[in-house]
Amino acid sequence: MRPVVFLTDFGLADAFVGTCHAVMRRIVPGLEIVDLSHGIAAQNVLQGALALHDAAPFLPADAIVVAVVDPGVGSSRRAIAVRGGDRRFWIGPDNGLLLLAAERVGPIFEARELADPRWRLDPVSATFHGRDIFAPAAAHLASGVSFSELGPTIDPSLLGRIEVPAPVVAPGSLEAQVVAVDRFGNLQLAAGRDDLSVAGFVPGAAVEVSSAHPDDEDVAVTPATVGRTFADVGPGALLVHEDASGRLAVALSGGSAAAELAYAPGHTVTLFRPGA
C-alpha cells in the first residue's frame, strides 16, 4: 500500500489535521501517513511549495503527496492530482503549490482534475477541501483506485505555477526575499551559494545586513559573518550561511534572527560589504 505524505498550513491547535487523518483511515484502515509539516505560515503558498521542493528527493518513492495551502479554497481554482515521472502522485490545489516539487524529481506525465464525486465526501464544504476532496482522493489512490478514474485530464502546461523571487546580486551586495522563517527564527532567503560567490562573500567575510538598500538614508544595519556552521560566530552574533536546503539563511547564534531583526517572510534582506 502506498504511504501518504501530508503537508498543510493548518497548524496543530485545531482539529483540521486530525480530521483529515481520520477521513483517510476510514477509507483505508491502517494507512501510513507521514506528516511532513503543518507549520507552513497561513496561506503562504510559496513557503509550502519550497518546503515540498526541498523534501521531494527524500520522500518514499511511491508516496502519495497531499499538500494543502489553499487561500483560494471555494473559488474557481481547480483541485488537481499530478502523476510525475517517478512513481509519486501529488494532490492539492492548482495554485502552484505542487509543481516545484513534482518537477524536481521528474517530468510531469499527467494531470487530472479531482472532479469525480465517487472519490469525495458528500456534501463538500466550501472551505475545507482538505477533508472533503484532497484527503479522500489520496486514500482512494492508496486503496488501488486508478489515477485515470480521478477526473478529466488537464494539459500540464496549463497548471498554475508559482514564481520564486530572484535575488539581485552584484559585487559587494546581495538582495533577496525572506521566503520562510523556521521555528528557530532562522531567515531563509531566495538565494543560494552561487549568489554568495557572485557577490564576493567568502567564508569568514564580514557583511552587514539591512532591510533596505545601503544607499538609502537612515538605514539600520547589523553586522554579520559569512560562515558554515553556527559555531563560526559567538553567542548573539549573526551568521549568513548555506542551510540544509541549499538556500542562504541568516541566523542568530543562540537566538532568533527573525526576532532580533524584526524580519518576516516577504521582507527583503540586503547583504553588503561594510562601508559600501
Same domain, 60 and 113: yes
Q: What pLDDT does 216 receive?
A: 52
- Can you tell me the mean pLDDT for 19-38? 98
Q: Output the average pLDDT for the chain.
A: 94
Same domain, 218 and 249: yes
Sign of CA dihedral 35, 41, 44, 50: negative
Question: The C-alpha cell of 167 is what?
Answer: 535575488
Same domain, 112 and 138: yes
Question: At 256, is the secondary structure helix, strand, or coil?
Answer: coil
CATH classification of the domain holding 33: 3.40.50.10790
> Quick one: pLDDT band at residue 219, thresholds 50, 70, 90?
low
Strand 4-8 to 64-68 pairing? parallel
Q: What pLDDT does 72 receive?
A: 96
Count of domains for the chain = 2
Residue 163 domain flag: no
Q: What pLDDT does 85 receive?
A: 73
Q: Are 123 and 133 in contact (CB under 8 A)?
A: no
Q: What b/e string do you get for 174-209 counting C-beta neighbours within 10 Å, with b at 16 or more? A: bbbbbbbbeeebbbbbbbbeebbeebebeeebebbb
Say if residue 217's pLDDT is above 80.
Answer: no
Same domain, 150 and 188: no
